[in-house]
Amino acid sequence: MKRFLIPLGIFVVLVGFLALGLRLNPREVPSPLIDKPAPPFTLPELVDPQRSFSQKDMLGKVWMLNVWASWCVSCREEHPVLVAFSKRNIVPVYGLNYKDDRKDALAWLSKLGNPYTMSIMDRDGRIGIDYGVYGVPETYVIDKQGVIRYKQIGPVTPEVLEAKILPLVKKLQG
């Protein structure tokens, strides 16, 4: 009996590790940008490209930056959540339209609704690199000092909003 105990023990430990591994999402790589100042940018607005917007314009306010694109499938899943959230007027959501065609992006917003206070265009994805974007959609919560406090990789779901983003925003708005 005793000689079966050791292999059984090893098996149980192995299954434990595998079970843990199955629950983890390998796509969720912790961002080194958390608690760092939001990388600077000045980009043209989507609706009026003559005007530009910089992350500095938001100093003193808590805000969210959502990276989206009309070609991004998960963004479509996320979109209604953001539209509903923006109607609650809790925190301004800005859109970073990532590597997109302006016409497609505008058509997308007019068809599915526009949750964004404003969207800006990162046509060549250069600012996306600075923000460590690798899986659109991604969402950042930025505090009054312009520091990134949270990053969501993949779609924002109602659960994530209620459990993580809203409590954080309330605390930051304090």
Partner 1 sequence: MMRYVLFFCAALLAAASLHAKEAVPAADDPVVEKRAVTLEEQLRCLVCQNQTIAESRADLAMDLKKEIREQIKAGKSDEQIKQFLVDRYGDFVLYKPPFKPITALLWGGPFLLLVGGVIGLFVYQRRRRGRVVQASLSDDEQARAEALLQSNEDRA
Of 65-104, binders to partner 1 (CB under 8 A) are 99
Taking the CB of residue 59, how many other CB atoms lie within 10 A of it?
14
Q: Does 131 bind partner 1 (CB under 8 A)?
A: yes
**24-53 mask for partner 1 (x: CB under 8 A)?**
--xx-xxxxx--------------------
Tokens found for residue 76:
């479509």
* Mode of pairing for the β-strands spanning 93-98 and 118-122: parallel
- Beta carbon nearer to partner 1, 133 or 161: 133
Q: Does 123 bind partner 1 (CB under 8 A)?
A: no
Of 150-169, binders to partner 1 (CB under 8 A) are none
- Beta carbon nearer to partner 1, 99 or 144: 99
Q: How far is the CB of 158 from partner 1 (least distance, A)?
A: 26
Helix axes 73-87, 102-112, angle to 10 degrees: 50
Beta strand segments in 22-154, E: 42-44, 52-54, 63-68, 93-98, 118-122, 138-142, 148-153
- 92, 125, 146, 154: which one contacts partner 1 (CB under 8 A)? 125
